[in-house]
Structure 1
Amino acid sequence: MCGIVAATAQRDVAPLLIAGLKALEYRGYDSAGLAVLQEGEIRRVREKGKVREMESQYLADPFPGGTGIAHTRWATHGVPNKVNAHPHIAGHVALVHNGIIENYASLRSELESRGHAFTSETDTEVMAALIGERLASGKSLLDAVSSVVHELEGAYAIAVISDKEPGRVIGARRGAPLLVGVGIGENFLGSDAQALIQVTNRMIYLEEHDVVEITRDRVRIFGQHGEAVERTIHESELSTDAVERGEYRHYMQKEIFEQPRAVADTLEARIGPHGVLPNIFGVNGDELLGKTKGLHIIACGTSYHAGLVAKYWIEDYARLPVNVEVASEYRYREAVVPDGTLFVAISQSGETADTLAAMRESRRRGYLGTLAICNVPESSVVREADLKLMTRAGPEIGVASTKAFTTQLAALGLLALQLARHRGLDDARYADLTAQLQSLPKKIEKALELEPQIVDLAEHLIHRQHALFLGRGAQYPVAMEGALKLKEISYIHAEAYAAGELKHGPLALVDEDMPVIAVAPNGPLLDKLKSNLQEVRARGGELLVFADGAASMDGNAARGSILRIDGGGDFIAPAVFTVPMQLLAYHVAVLRGTDVDQPRNLAKSVTVE
C-alpha cells in the first residue's frame, strides 16, 4: 500500500526521495508528498495524484537539503486530497506513516482539549502532533517518538524529522514493514527494498516494535523496551534491472512472460529425477511434515486461490485433510485445530496484514508448526515461521498478481509431493507427478505462444459488463483466479462458479450478453463440464472454452470459441491454464484503456486491515 522513503546524506536528497517514490508506485496510491530540511526550516510539497505531478510542483520551486522524508498515500482515514496527503507537519515535526492507528480518535480528542487544531482528517497528523508536544516539552526527537509509539494501538511504520535536529531521521515499526538502507556517509529508510536499491544494496530489516535513529554516519536501533539492539545487515539480491519494464508495454505483461523462468527458479535444486529433495522447507522440515496429520492454509486474494488448488492436490495425493480460509475471516473465529495440524501461510509480500496476524494468532491455537510460502526472504511472515519455502518470483510490480500465483502453485506442488511421499503414495504415481512438475516451465512457455489468439478473443469481451467463469475440481479455483484478474484490471464484473452449481442459480443470468468462460482440461470431470456448457449454449450464451488439446469438445462452442492448450497432465494443468486467462484479462484491459499496472482503488501489498 502506502510507501515511505527517507534519507539523510551529504547531498541533496529530494531527487533520491522522488526516485524512491517512483520505484514504489506499483504498490498503489492516490497522493504523494515530500518534506526536506533546508537551512533549519521544514519545506514541504504535496499533491493529489501521481508522483510526477508532485515532482512538477517541486521542480517549479525546489528546496534542496540533506535530510528528508517522502510518501505515497493510499487513503484510509480521510479522502484522497492534498490536505490529507503526507508528510504531515505539527510544530517542528514532519512525519510520514503507513498503517492505521486504531485509537487515533481518542488521542485526537485529548489533543483538541489541549488546544491543538487539526488541518486534516488523518490519524497520521495525530501522531505528528503528539511527537511535537513531547519535543516542545524538552525531549529529544528520539525520546519523543519512543514515548509516543507506546501509546499507539494498531499498525504503523513511520519516519520523522524535526527542524530542531537536522541531519537526523527517526523511524519506528509495528505491524507494517520498514527497513534501513546502509550507505557510505548516508543512510536511508524505506518501506520496501525497491525504494532503496538505487542507492544501496545493504539493508537492515527492522523487527516488531523497533525504533531506529539514522544520521549520515550512524544507525542506532532500539528494541521494545528502549534497549540498544543489533540487527543483521543483508545484501539484497534485487537489481535495478529487475524492476525495469524493458520491451513490454506494461509490467503485468512482462511478469506474465517471466513465469517460465520464475517457476523454473522456484523448482531449481528442490526437485530431481527421483522426486523432491530432502529438507527443502528448512532444517528438520521433513521431520515436521512426517508428523503432519492435516493442514490449515491461510491466505488472501490470489494466494487464497493458490491454497484452494493445493487442497485438491494434498487431499488427492497425500490423503490428508486440508482446510483453506481467508485470513481476515480466520483470525476472528476460533478454528478447531486437530492434533498434528500444520499451519500454512501464503503471501507474496510476506507483510499482508491479515495473513501475518493470523500466523501470530496460530501460535496460541496449538498447531504442530507453521510453514510460510512467500516471495520475500526478509519479510515478517518468513522470519516468524518455523518452516519456509521461497517462491523466487522476483519483483512483481503489477498490482494484479501473475508470476507470484504460478510460483506459489509450484511451491505448493512441492509440498503436496513431499507430503504424498511421507504418506506412501504409489511409486509410479509419484514418478509421474514429479515428471509433470518438472515440465511445468516448458508447458507455460507453450501456453504463452497463444497470445495472438487471445488478443483476438479479447475483442469479444471489451464491450461486456459481466462475465461468468466455470471450472470443476482443481480448475474451479483457477476459474476464480481468472474472474479476479478480469475484474481487477478491466473493471468488468466477473464471477466464478463450480460448474455443477450453474443450474443452482447462475444459469438465470445467462443470455446472449453474458459471456461464459470455461476451463476444460482433459480428465474424469470433462463430460460433466460439457453437460454444463450445453446448458449455456441452449440459452444463447456465448462460450469461450479453454480446452485441453486432448479433450473432445465438438459441438460445445457453436456460439463461441475454443482455445486449445496443452495442460501437461492433471497435476500441473491448473498452473498452465492460469496463463491464458491472465493474458485474456490483460488484453481486455488494454483494449478498454484501463490503468493495467495500477488499477483503481487497489494496492499491491495490503499491510493494513
Structure 2
Amino acid sequence: MCGIVGYIGNREAQSILISGLSKLEYRGYDSAGISVYNGKALQTAKKKGRLAVLEEQLQSNPLNGHIGIGHTRWATHGKPSDENAHPHSDNDHQFSIIHNGIIENYLSLKEELVAKGHVFKSETDTEVIAHLIQSLYEGDMEQAVQRAVKKMKGAYALVVLSKSEPDKLIAVRLASPLIVGVGQGENFIGSDIPAILEYTRNVYILNDGEMAVLTRNDVQLKDVEGNSISREIYHVDWDIVTAEKDGYDHFMLKEIHEQPKGYRDTMGSRIQSDQHKVDLKELTLSKQQIESIDRIHIVACGTAYHAGLVGKQVLESMTRIPVEVDVASEYRYRNPIITNNTLVIIVSQSGETADTLAALREAKSQGATILAITNVVGSSVTREADQVLITWAGPEIAVASTKAYTTQLITFYLLGCHFAEVLETKDEQFIAEVVSALQVLPEQVEMILSQAEDIKRYAEHIAQHDHVFFLGRGLDFAVAQEASLKLKEISYIHSEAYAAGELKHGTLALIEEGTPVVAIATQEDLFDKTVSNIQEVVARGADVLGLSTVGDEELVKSVNQLLFIPKTLPFLTPALSIIPLQLLSYYAAMARGTDVDKPRNLAKSVTVE
C-alpha cells in the first residue's frame, strides 16, 4: 500500500531516497518522510501531503548522510498528518522505522509499552514497532528485530535504521512486498522494483518470513530465526523508461495507448500463427489433470474481479465447466466448496493483493490447484501458485488499472482456447477462428484510440453531471461494471452499472430528464433486447451514449450519440469495448480537474485486508 525505499553506500542518501519515493508515490501520497544518519544522530523530515511538500522543506534543510530510509504513505491507522507520517522513532531516537501493512495486535503491544513508560506521539501502529524494538534491544540490532517480529501479528514490510549500529539496514517481510537491490559498494531496499532500477538491475525478492541485513558491501538473507538463506539474484530486464510518461500528460493515458503492445506481448509466442493454435508452454497441467477439473473458481478484487466476470463466460462457453467468480475479500468467509478437482484462478495485477493472497492460501490448504494470472514476475502470487500465466502489460503506474485489465482478458481467451483444445469441447476450426480474431485485436484497438476526440467531447458533457449509469447485457454488463468503476475512481462522479434487463425492477426510478446513460450493445444475440431497454430510459428523458459494433446502425435511432468499435467475435468484444470507456473516464476526470494518476483515498497495490 505504502512506498518504501532504503539506501546504504557512499553517496548522499537523501537524493537517492527522494528519487526512489518519486517512483513509488503511486502506492501512497498522504504524506512522505525520510530519515538519514549524519554520523552523530538520526535526522528525520516528514510532511503531510505529496512528496513535493517534503522536497520543498529539504531544499532549505537537507539531511546529510550515506545511509537512510524513506516512505510515502497511504493512511490506515491515523489520519494523514505530519505526526502520523513515517519514519517513526522511539523516545530516545535510537531507531527509525518505516513500515507497510497493518500490525493487528498493535493496541495490546502499545498498552504493554505505555505501562513501561513509553510515550507515543502518533496514532499509528508503526510507531509501536519502533518502541518495541527499542525495548528489546540488548546490543544486537538483528536479534532485537527478530524478537520484535515474533511478537507482532499482521502483515508488514519493515525497514529498520539505528544510530547504535549505523553501518547496516535491516528489512523484514511478511505478506507485503519488499525487494533488495544489489550494487557495487552500495545496496538498496524498495517495495517495488522501479524505486531502485535507476541504480541497479540486480535484486533479491524477499519471501514471507524472511529478513535482509544490508551493509555497504554485503547483503545477507535470513529467516526470522536467523538462519542463512541462499538465493539467486533476479536480473531485471525491463527499462525504467517504461515507467516514465513518455510525453503523455498522465500515466493513465500512456497506459491506455500502450494496450495494443500489451495485447501483442501477452499473446506473443503463446500463439502458433502457422497452425492457428494456442500453446501455453508455461502450464504443466497434464491432459488428465485438465480433464479432472469439475469446477473453476475465479477469485480477484476490483478491476481484476471484473476481468474474472468476462473470464467466467469465456471459460464456460469454451469448456462447459461451471465457473464461479468471487470477490477475494469474501471468498474465505463463505466457506467455498473446494475439492481436489477444483481449479482456482487467482487474478491480480500486482500479485501482492492481500485479500487475494489470503484466498489463494485458503484454497490451496483445501487441496485446490491454483493458477495465477498476474502482471508481476516474482510476486507472492507467482511464488505460491501451482501454475502461472504472466500478463505482459509492462509496469502499470496509474492507480486506475487499464492495460493490466485488458491483458488479463487476453489471458482468459488464451486459456479458454487451450482448455477447449485439450478437452475437445471446440473443434479446430472454431479455435482457429478465435486465434485469427485475437491477432487483429491490437490493430482494432489502435483504430478505437484514433476516435479520442469524439470520446472527449462526450466526456466533457458528462463531467457536468453528478450521476451516470452504465447498461449492458451478458458480456456487455461485465464491461459496464469495469467502465463504471473507472469513471467513479478517477472523476469522482457517482456511477453505477446495471444489467439492462433489470431496469424495470427498480433502477428506472433514478432516471430523470438529462441523466447520462452509457449503453453497451455489442452482443448480437442480445442486441434487440438491449435496444428495448435503451428505449425505456430514453422515454424517461435520459441522455444516452450508445456503444456498438460497426454496422449496427439500428442503435442510431435510439441514442443521442453513438460510438462504434470494429467487428470481432461476440465474446471478444470486451477487449475492444472497454477502450473507449477508459478514455471516457480519463477525459471526464480531466474536465473535472481531478488527479488522474493518483485519485483520492486510493493506492495502486492494496496490501492490507
Instruction: Report the count of equivalent residues.
Output: 605
Matched, 1:104 2:106: yes
Give the aligned partner of residue 533 of structure 2.
Answer: 532
Answer yes or no: is the 8 Å Cα contact 2:550–2:564 preserved in 1.
yes
Question: 1:112-151 residue pairs with structure 2 within 5 A?
Answer: 112-135=114-137, 138-151=138-151
Q: Does 1:587 align with 2:554?
A: no
Q: Which amino acid aligns with 1:456?
A: R
Where do residues 35-114 of structure 1 align in structure 2 (5 Å cutoff)? Answer: 35-90=35-90, 91=92, 92-114=94-116
Amino acid at match of 2:439: Q
Which amino acid is the alignment partner of residue 534 of structure 1?
A: Q
1:109 Cα deviation after fit: 0.2
Worse-matched range after superposition: 507-516 or 120-129: 507-516
Give distance in 1, aligned partners of 2:477 and 2:534. 15
TM-superposition CA deviations, 1:97-137 (whole Å, max 9, x none): 000000000000000011111000110000000111122xx
Aligned position for 1:550: 551
User: CA–CA distance in 2 between the matches of 1:61 and 1:517?
Assistant: 52
Q: Is 2:146–2:225's contact at 8 Å kept on the other side of the alignment?
A: no
Cα pair distance change 1:236/1:84, threshold 3 Å: same
User: Aligned partners of 2:333 and 2:540: how far apart in 1?
Assistant: 42
Contact kept? 1:406, 1:575, Cα under 8 Å: yes
The question of whether the paired residues in 1 share the 8 Å contact of 2:531 and 2:558 is answered with no
Q: Distance in 2 between matches of 1:266 and 1:421?
A: 19
Contact 1:279 1:285 in 2 (8 A): no
Kept after mapping to 2: 8 A contact 1:204/1:234:
yes
Q: Structure 1 residues 501 and 460, CA, compared in 2 at 3 Å: closer, same or farther?
A: same
Distance 2:169 2:558 in 1: 63
- State the secondary structure of the residue aligned to 2:561: strand
Q: Which residue of 1 aligns with 2:337?
A: 336
Report the residue type matching 1:259 in the other structure: Q
Deviation at 1:436, TM superposition (A): 1.4
Using the TM superposition, name which of 104-113 and 449-458 deviates more: 449-458
Q: Deviations over 1:388-412 (max 9, x none)?
A: 0100100111110000001000011
Task: Give SS of 2:545's match.
Answer: strand
Equivalent position of 1:440 in the other structure = 441
Q: Please report how far the alpha carbon of residue 459 of structure 1 lies from its aligned counterpart in structure 2 after TM superposition.
A: 2.2
- Alpha-carbon RMSD across the aligned residues, in angstroms, is 1.3
Gaps spanning 5+ residues in structure 1: where? none
Residue type of the partner of 1:466? H
What secondary structure, in the 3-state scheme, does the structure 1 residue paired with 2:4 have?
strand
Aligned to 1:452: 453
The separation in 1 between residues aligned to 2:127 and 2:463, in whole angstroms, is 43
Within 5 Å, give how 1:258-337 maps onto structure 2.
258-273=258-273, 274-284=275-285, 288-337=289-338
In the alignment, structure 1 residue 166 sits paired with structure 2 residue 166:
yes
Distance in 1, matches of 2:197 and 2:100, equals: 20
Residue 378 of structure 1 pairs with residue 355 of structure 2: no
Identify the residue that residue 356 of structure 1 maps to in structure 2. 357
Alpha-carbon contact 2:476-2:523 (below 8 Å) kept: no
With over 3 angstroms needed to count, the CA separation of the structure-2 counterparts of 1:202 and 1:554, relative to structure 1, is closer
> Equivalent residue for 1:565?
565
Q: 1:568, CA displacement in angstroms?
A: 1.8
Would the aligned equivalents of 1:547 and 1:553 in 2 still touch at CA under 8 Å? no
Partners of 2:278 and 2:414 within 8 A in 1: no
Contact 1:464 1:513 in 2 (8 A): no
In structure 1, the residue corresponding to 2:571 is in which secondary structure? coil
Matches within 5 A, 1:174-573: 174-273=174-273, 274-284=275-285, 288-367=289-368, 369-424=369-424, 425-554=426-555, 556-558=557-559, 560-573=560-573
Deviation at 1:522, TM superposition (A): 4.5
Q: SS state of the match for residue 471, structure 2?
A: strand
Contact 1:187 1:215 in 2 (8 A): yes
Following superposition, the deviation at residue 291 of structure 1 comes to 3.0
Q: Per the alignment, do residues 286 and 303 of structure 1 end up closer, same or farther by CA in structure 2, a change over 3 Å counting? A: farther
Structure 2: stretches of 5+ with no match in the other structure: none
**TM-score between the two structures when normalised by the length of structure 1:** 0.97
CA drift of 1:458 comes to 1.1
Report deviation, 1:476: 0.9
Given residue 402 of structure 2, which amino acid in structure 1 is its aligned partner?
A: T
Cα distance, 1:272 vs. partner?
1.8
Contact 1:443 1:568 in 2 (8 A): no
Q: 2:170 and 2:288 mapped to 1: Cα distance?
A: 43
d(CA) in 1 for partners of 2:106, 2:189: 24
Identity of aligned residues (%): 47
TM-score calculated relative to the size of structure 2:
0.97
Kindly indicate whether the alpha-carbon contact (under 8 Å) linking 2:29 and 2:72 is maintained by their aligned counterparts in 1.
yes
Deviates more, 1:239-248 or 1:197-206: 239-248
| Contact in 2 for aligned 1:95/1:160 (Cα 8 Å) | yes
Q: Does the CA contact (< 8 Å) of 1:28 and 1:399 recur in 2?
A: no
CA offsets 1:319-370 (integer angstroms, 9 cap, x no match): 1100000000002221012552101000000000000111011112221x11
Q: SS in structure 1 opposite 2:608? A: coil
